[in-house]
Amino acid sequence: MHDERSESAQRRVVEDYYRTTSAAGVEGGGASLAQSAAGLRRRLGPWLDVAGKDVLDLGSGTGELCWLACESGARSVVGVNLSQEEIDFARRRMAVDFVCQDIGDYLAGRPSASVDRIYALNILEHLDKDALLRVLEQAFRLLREDGELVAMVPNATSPFGGMTRYWDITHQIAFTPSSVRQLARLVGFGAMDFRECGPVPYGLASAVRYAVWQGIRLLIKLYLLAETASGKGGVYTSDMLFRLKKTAQLD
């Protein structure tokens, strides 16, 4: 009975995510969307290489990544989300195919090797471990050879990883580069890359933030080296990005 209630509460918040969570971040309509999309573009940088690609956005939220993919020349874009209100908001602002469905169920219904890029930004932490493994396995199946999964997740290596892990009541887990590598190897991904979600200099204020952050991250690294004799992957921001690539299997 307890587990059933927990699952029900989790799903209720997720399905009502626009009213409970995301609405506050999109007040102001198109201008707010454009600003957040610009920030996401800077953060993703070369990992937004989707021109001529078929793109799938898991947990598409209010559509920033879908909008960016279209603007960047993607051949097709599909956003999957459990919140119908978020989908309705996004549909008013862009001509993208949005699907209101559990991401695991949606992936299971898609044909193998049918997608070039899968984005999972701020969604994997909402899954329990069994659902997480299922989603990663299905994502691997859907990707074409040399296809990539790009994700943004809470970073438990950060001194403030607990804040990000518990910031949202629906978060189930935080990640480290080590735990991501475990999952990626289990599923079958080849190359893996990790990046911080820190300040990106594009003006005076952001350049100052970037310089200050570099000093802070050096102190974090020195602390870890002193305690553990390891930099623990060198990713210290409260969120981190990772990219997993499906490479050809050797016979």
Angle between helices 64-71 and 30-44 (to 10 degrees): 70
Positions of the chain with pLDDT under 70: 1-7, 18, 23-32, 249-251
Domain-located, residue 30: yes
Q: Which residue segment(s) compose the domain that 183 sits in? A: 2-198+235-245
What is the radius of gyration, based on Cα positions, of the chain? 18
Report d(CA 236, CA 232) in Å as an integer.
Answer: 9
Domain-located, residue 40: yes
pLDDT of residue 80: 97
Domain-located, residue 216: no
pLDDT of residue 2: 43
Which one-letter amino acid corresponds to residue 105? D
Domain-located, residue 210: no
Overall domain count for the chain: 1
CATH of the domain at 103: 3.40.50.150
Domain-located, residue 206: no
pLDDT of residue 101: 95
Which among 154, 183, 173 has a CA at the least distance from the CA of 244?
183
Domain-located, residue 61: yes
Domain-located, residue 251: no
> pTM score, two decimals?
0.90
Domain-located, residue 167: yes
For residue 112, the cross-strand partners are none
